[in-house]
Amino acid sequence: MMVSCAPKTESNPFFTEYTAPFGMPDFAQIRSEHYMPAFLKGMEEHNAEIEAIVNNPEAPTFANTIEAMEFSGKLMNRVSAVFYNLTSAETNDQLKTIQKDMSPLLSEHNDNISLNDKLFERVKVIYDNKATANLTPEQEMVLDKYYKDFVRSGALLDATQKEQLKAINKELNLLSIRFADNVLTETNNFKLVIDNEADLAGLPEWVIAGAAEEANAKGETGKWVFTLAKPSFLPFLQYADNRELREKIYNGYINRADNGNDNDNKETIAQILKLRQQKANLLGFDTFAEFALDNRMAKNPENVYALLNSIWSAALPKAKEEAKDMQALIYQEGGNFQLAAWDWWYYTEKLRKQKFDLDESEVKPFFAVDNVRDGAFMVANKLWGITFEERTDIPVYHQDVKTFEVKDKDGSHIGVFLVDYFPRESKRAGAWMNSYRDQSIENGTNIRPIVVNVGNFSKPVGNTPSLLNIDEVQTLFHEFGHGLHGLLTQCTYPIVSGTSVARDFVELPSQIMEHWATNPEVMTMYAKHYQTGEVISDELIEKMDKAANFNTGFTTTELVAAALLDMNYHTTSDFSNFDAVAFESKTTKEIGLIDEITYRYRGPYFSHIFSGGYATGYYSYLWAEVLDADAFDAFEQNGIFDQKTAQLYRENILEKGGSVEPMTLYVQFRGAEPNPEALLRNRGLKN
């Protein structure tokens, strides 16, 4: 579809090059009314560029077809980068409306390119003659990716099938938006209001202070408010003595978008799964899982199930042992009730203190968010000599965002790194990395990336900074690992740059960073008491180390259960009369998940797979953990800051992006394929 518009170019900041330092978007100048004209003009320009490629009278070559496509659509990329970052991190009703209005237009635009017969003919000619095209290894990978993407997008379908696929893609895009909106609305709608101070028994002072501040912000002065933001509800489950209120907030969390109201996602799930199955069938696959895995490291569902089941068989018995320990503690304290899911975190904290003399409240003061962030920066500096200099002259989209210029050890510019760490109602839950500009090399110029890390850590309260628990410390380092992947990449083409890799490989750079986060040598570099400046003691580090794999049965079981649910959804082929809750219950029974543990993500709020690109991909965290556990062994063997190992890792993993097959890159770094048992050892499930 050709879309035409004639906006006033002088008034729309997307129509001219950004003038802020390093090409950062000038967020203060961008208003909601700028997006639609920019999208429409971007599609118009992109269409013209594609038409020029299609109608080029010269014989197809990599340069005049593949490279021309790769560097087309600049305005589209510019507006999309800003728009979709903000719809995740700083959305509003206007942006939500624009997203719904643009979704079918963008879906049609993308389909018109991927289903353009003449364009595919040119790609196929180059692909069929690549042996004589004298391409670089990266160009070969780019060509293969374009050809496979065209085929996976329906290029080999007949005209009727192409129209069917277009309709499916449009509907899937809209359903994905609806799913995400429902989860955000349900998350924001819940609040646990406490007006009796006795109901705060057991809660640490920092939790109570945060709840009082939340109450003031919500007009509940003199009360305490707990929300479904993780820094609010999780400490409540960990510490609140009031079991009835723990159950209330827990059920509020796990029943999001499953309440039979306008925000219910069960029917949306059924529609998404049915359409994905139809799409897979159109493209020649029996199930969506087979389609999705065809271009990943795992290759097929059998390999994924083999990994998940091997971990499950080790994790579930461990979780059952943990449940028995907690039940014994309940009886020991005089309780006469059975351990329930909303009790797990509460009794985990009690057992942690009993077994290891370790209280999370003892640990948190050493992990102020800025110190943890600087600790991640220090690790990168010791590994590769790179530095992070805070800049206050670069535009940001929210006052909580901080910006850093990243420089290499020779002082050269690497990129710009943004951090946005605190929850708000305009931000979706979770933590993620994204970019405002990807790295590439065009006309000899190395265009450096602009990368953002987004999180939902507890907000500062009064004079107390944001204090992280150890899981949040690892999350910060995890997302920083993704950030390094996006920042240090050295590729020519955006399609393989940075994190543009197989879904089950992308978590390697993030998860390996978690190992440095909790390494004793590293913690002494950054873990300092926020009031006294005292460095964390060896005694406390030793306690944390001994407790590192405590509760690992639970954490592994809830993660694997969610991955198995994801796989079961997408290996199913019949979605007539599909009932999402009944299907979930059936999976629970089949895998033997115990009542005391719920899936890390239940279907109605499983945003990773229904609105976040991880469909048939939640297993990726575990697949990549095999890689990261084995990879960190190399650092432990040679020294965690060994320069040779660090350089091998940078050159073969971080810089190469998706320009080489992932296992080839891994073997070039490590010297051999990974040992799967490294994961079980890492989680304390095997000696």
In angstroms, the CA 417 to CA 396 distance is 11
What are the φ and ψ backbone dihedral angles of 379, each rounded to 5 degrees?
-60, -45
C-alpha R_g of the chain: 25
Polymer length in residues for the chain = 687
In angstroms, the CA 106 to CA 109 distance is 5
The sign of the torsion formed by the CA atoms of 80, 82, 85, 86 equals negative
Token readout for 108 is 């049609």
Cα of 113 vs its chain's centroid, Å? 28
Angle at 496 between CA 490 and CA 502, to 5 degrees: 120
Token readout for 153 is 């997008």
Angle at 326 between CA 566 and CA 313, to 5 degrees: 40
Question: Which residue shows structure tokens 């907000």?
Answer: 459
In angstroms, the CA 504 to CA 658 distance is 12
Nearest to 265 by CA among 279, 277, 276, 255: 255
Write the CA distances from 248 to 190, 253, 263, 420, integer angstroms. Answer: 10, 9, 19, 30
Would you call 458 exposed, middle or buried from its count of C-beta atoms within 10 A (0-12, 13-18, 19+)?
A: buried
The sign of the torsion formed by the CA atoms of 261, 265, 270, 271 equals positive
CB count, 10 Å around CB of 223? 17
Token readout for 35 is 């997006």
Assess contact for 502 and 493: CB atoms under 8 A: no
Choose, from 70, 405, 479, 625, the residue flagged as catalytic: 479
Q: What is the dihedral of CA 16, 20, 25, 31, to 10 degrees?
A: -80
The residues near 430 (Cβ < 8 Å, ≥ 6 apart) are 456, 607
Long-range contacts, 665-669 (Cβ 8 Å, 24+): 666/508, 666/627, 666/631, 669/631, 669/634
154: three-class secondary structure by DSSP: coil
Please report how the helices 93-114 and 159-189 are oriented relative to each other, as an axis angle in degrees rounded to 10: 160
Residue 677: active-site member: no
The sign of the torsion formed by the CA atoms of 394, 397, 398, 404 equals negative
Nearest to 342 by CA among 517, 96, 595: 595
Assess contact for 233 and 261: CB atoms under 8 A: no
The residues assigned a catalytic role are 479
